[in-house]
Amino acid sequence: MLSVKSFTFNPFQENTYIVFDDETLDAAIIDPGCSNSSEENALAEFISRRNLKVRYLLNTHCHIDHVLGNTFCKNTYQVQLYIHQNEISILDSVTNYAPTFGINNYQGATPDQFLVEGQTITIGNATLKVIFTPGHAPGHVAFYEEKEGLIIVGDTLFFESIGRTDLPGGNFKTLETTIRTKLYTLPAAVIVYPGHGPKTSIGYEKLNNPFVNAQ
């Protein structure tokens, strides 16, 4: 069974996820937002206490709050960083704008692999399928585990909200199309783990999301 552990890190209150197979203990870190040593220690302590074997470092997209811990994770676990190709410039720009948010110790990480729509990532007995979900960011992706009925959606869809579209590369029409055609077409029971705030479900958001609903 695939378990999902979440942490809320950094001044942006970003959700960092560790997904892991309970049986094989293989794991992936998704969107590490750890911004200081106590957040890094919290992440590392969980991984070592559970004896997890970190196989992948994945970014749904590369805004500052989702990438602050990339270098720490690469160095600590010797894993490759996977992002979508359309996020390269978004990732590069973090170095320039981090100080404007008061973050002066940011060390950028270089991506090693590029994620593509439909690609699968094996974590023990589980399989994450990459879904291309642009709109909040141009190379945004989500990670869907069909058997387990869960999806890590980054900043596309939130509990009763959606990702902002006023940042560079953002587009509301694109995001709305993504949510309607890529997310709301999943089974209603699928649990949604967003980049900020509490988890939700596809069925709940279709009925209750005030920005994009299926009424």
* 40 touches Zn ion (CB under 5 A): no
In which residue are the tokens 């559970």 written?
50
- Tell me how many helices (H) and strands (E) the chain has: 6, 14
Nearer to Zn ion, 21 or 155 (CB): 155
**Near Zn ion by CB under 5 A, which window of 1-9, 57-65, 68-76, 201-209?**
57-65
CB of 61 to Zn ion, least distance (A): 6
> Least separation, in Å, of the C-beta of 60 and Zn ion?
8
Q: How far is the CB of 137 from Zn ion (least distance, A)?
A: 6
Q: Which is nearer to Zn ion, 46 or 159 (CB)?
A: 159
**Taking the complex as a whole, how short is the minimal distance between the CB of residue 62 and Zn ion, in angstroms?**
8
Inter-axis angle of helices 37-49 and 70-77, nearest 10 = 40
Q: Is 182 helix (H, G, I), strand (E, B) or coil?
A: helix
Instruction: Give the DSSP H/E element, type plus range, for residue 45.
Output: helix 37-49
Q: Give the per-residue contact string, 136-155, with Zn ion (x = CB under 5 A; - = no).
A: -------------------x
Element (H, E) at 175: helix 172-178
Residue 181 DSSP code:
I
Does residue 145 contact residue 2 with C-beta atoms inside 8 Å? Answer: yes
Instruction: Compute how many residues bind Zn ion; rule: CB under 5 A.
Output: 2
The yes or no reply on residue 63 touching Zn ion (CB under 5 A) is yes
Q: Please report how close the Cβ of residue 125 comes to Zn ion at its closest, in angstroms.
A: 30
Question: Running DSSP on this structure, what letter comes out for residue 71?
Answer: H
Residue ranges in contact with Zn ion by CB under 5 A: 63, 155
